[in-house]
């Protein structure tokens, strides 16, 4: 059993880590907000209750298992409106899992032995949790601490970021991390993502935001990373991939690209070949 570790990230903000993904506990005077609930290696609710006794708002940056598997411990979870889960193949994520697992099982029947691992790690449990949609511009008031919801779709259709206007800091989930898995949203083209990223960067720069932290990032980035990453992603083609292979159930070959950057060390992404088409 992997236990969560907590460390002070900023004044009133604790970073909780399971070694794969970071969750943030952001405390105001009256309420606390938990951004993401992790892979559920451990009971996140019990852990957070050792850190605060304030009323808790639980928010998902987006609906992926490494950010949402612990949701079922809570009565209510807020999520971007385009990521509201139905836990059926109507959801982009669950459709992708269904397409791939059914094709893999048809081709390799013995892989059914992995069912329990697939269920535990990549299939978020619905539980009895009520899901409440968040809209772009919504303000979450924690008492002397306000966070503003800003959409940043691409990695998932409904990914949101949280802006802290006082600190000029952004909690960005997986929207613009060091390695964006674009393949999880096969209907989004890399060009469409790049346009969104550049527009997002322009808007937050104008508002005076300087830095942000992604959920898997080992360090805090300057917001210029968002723009530069978007520009890099925009130029990717299947030919530029370091690795390319066919995945059963995939619409086109899966590509992995890596590039060094003098300014930002490196960029990586996993995408489907068809996502390079405009
Ligand atoms: Zn994700
Ligand atoms: Zn993630």
* Among the listed residues 139, 169, 173, the one whose alpha carbon sits nearest the alpha carbon of residue 158: 173
What are the residues whose beta carbon lies below 5 Å from ligand 1 (ion)? 64, 174
pLDDT above 90 for 72: yes
Are the C-beta atoms of 131 and 85 separated by less than 8 Å? yes
Ligand 1 centroid from CA 67, angstroms: 7
Q: DSSP class of residue 216?
A: S
pLDDT above 90: residue 120: no
Pairing label, strands 31-35, 55-60: parallel
The per-residue pLDDT for range 132-180, each reduced to its tens digit, is 999 999 999 999 999 999 999 999 999 999 999 999 999 999 999 888 9
Which range has the worst mean pLDDT, 41-45, 113-117, 212-216?
A: 113-117
Work out the percent of the chain whose per-residue pLDDT is above 70.
Answer: 99
Kindly identify the ligand whose nearest atom is closest to the C-alpha of 185: 1
Mean pLDDT of the chain: 94
CA of 62 to the centre of ligand 1 (A): 7
Cα of 92 to ligand 1 centre, how many Å?
12
Q: How far is the CA of 117 from the centre of ligand 1 (A)?
A: 19
48, containing H or E segment: helix 44-49
- How much distance in Å is there from the Cα of 66 to the middle of ligand 1? 7
Q: How far is the CA of 233 from the centre of ligand 2 (A)?
A: 18
pLDDT interval class at 42 (50, 70, 90): confident
The mean per-residue pLDDT over the stretch 189-200 comes to 97
Give the residue, 119 or 129, on which the prediction is more confident.
Answer: 129
Residue 202 confidence (pLDDT): 98
Collapsing DSSP states into helix, strand and coil, what is residue 256? strand
* 3-state secondary structure (DSSP) of residue 123: coil
Q: What pLDDT is stored for residue 3 in this prediction? A: 78
pLDDT of residue 2: 58
Instruction: Identify whether the C-beta of residue 193 lies closer than 8 Å to the C-beta of residue 230.
Output: yes
> Nearest ligand, CA of residue 35?
2
**Rounded mean pLDDT of 25-43?**
95
Distance 173 CA to ligand 2 centre (A): 7
CA distance 188 to 152: 12
Distance, CA 21 to ligand 2 centroid (Å)?
6
Mean pLDDT of 51-66: 97
pLDDT over threshold 60, residue 1: no
pLDDT-derived band at 264 (thresholds 50, 70, 90) equals confident
Q: Please name every residue paired with 146 in a beta bridge, in sequence order, or none if there are none.
A: 141
pLDDT band at 261 (very low <50, low <70, confident <90, very high): confident
Query: DSSP states of 146-160 as a string?
Result: EEEEEE--SSSTT-E
108/105 Cα distance (integer angstroms): 5
Q: Which of 26-35, 131-140, 257-266 has the lowest mean pLDDT?
A: 257-266
Q: Which ligand is nearest to the CA of 37?
A: 2
Ligand nearest the Cα of residue 217 is 2
User: Which bound ligand lies closest to the C-alpha atom of 157?
Assistant: 1
**pLDDT score, position 141:** 98
Residue 57 in this model has a pLDDT that exceeds 70:
yes
Distance 29 CA to ligand 1 centre (A): 30
Q: Which residue has the tokens 């030919």?
A: 239
Cα 89 to ligand 2 centroid, rounded to whole Å: 20
């Amino acid at each position: 059993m992997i236990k969560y570790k907590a460390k002070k990230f900023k004044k009133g903000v604790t970073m909780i880590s399971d070694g794969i993904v970071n969750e943030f506990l952001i405390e105001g005077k009256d309420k606390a907000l938990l951004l993401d609930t992790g892979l559920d290696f451990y009971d996140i609710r019990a852990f957070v209750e050792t850190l605060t006794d304030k009323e808790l708002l639980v928010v998902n940056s987006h609906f992926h298992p490494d950010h949402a598997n612990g949701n079922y411990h809570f009565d209510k979870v807020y999520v971007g409106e385009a990521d509201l889960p139905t836990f059926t193949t109507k959801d982009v994520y669950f459709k992708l899992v269904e397409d791939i697992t059914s094709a893999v099982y048809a081709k390799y029947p013995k892989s059914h032995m992995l069912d329990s691992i697939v269920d535990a790690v990549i299939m978020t449990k619905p539980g009895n949790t009520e899901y409440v949609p968040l809209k772009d511009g919504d303000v979450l008031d924690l008492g002397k601490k306000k966070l503003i919801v800003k959409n940043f779709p691409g990695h998932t259709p409904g990914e949101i970021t949280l802006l802290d206007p006082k600190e000029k800091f952004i909690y960005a989930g997986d929207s613009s991390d060091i390695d964006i898995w674009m393949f999880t949203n096969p209907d989004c083209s890399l060009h469409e993502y790049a346009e969104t990223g550049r527009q997002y960067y322009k808007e937050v720069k104008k508002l005076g935001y300087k830095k942000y932290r992604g959920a898997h990032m080992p360090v805090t980035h300057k917001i210029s990373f968002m723009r530069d990453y978007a520009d890099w992603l925009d130029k990717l083609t299947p030919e530029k991939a370091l690795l390319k292979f066919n995945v059963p159930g995939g619409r086109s070959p899966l590509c992995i690209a890596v590039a060094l950057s003098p300014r930002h060390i490196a960029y990586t992404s996993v995408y489907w070949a068809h996502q390079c088409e405009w």
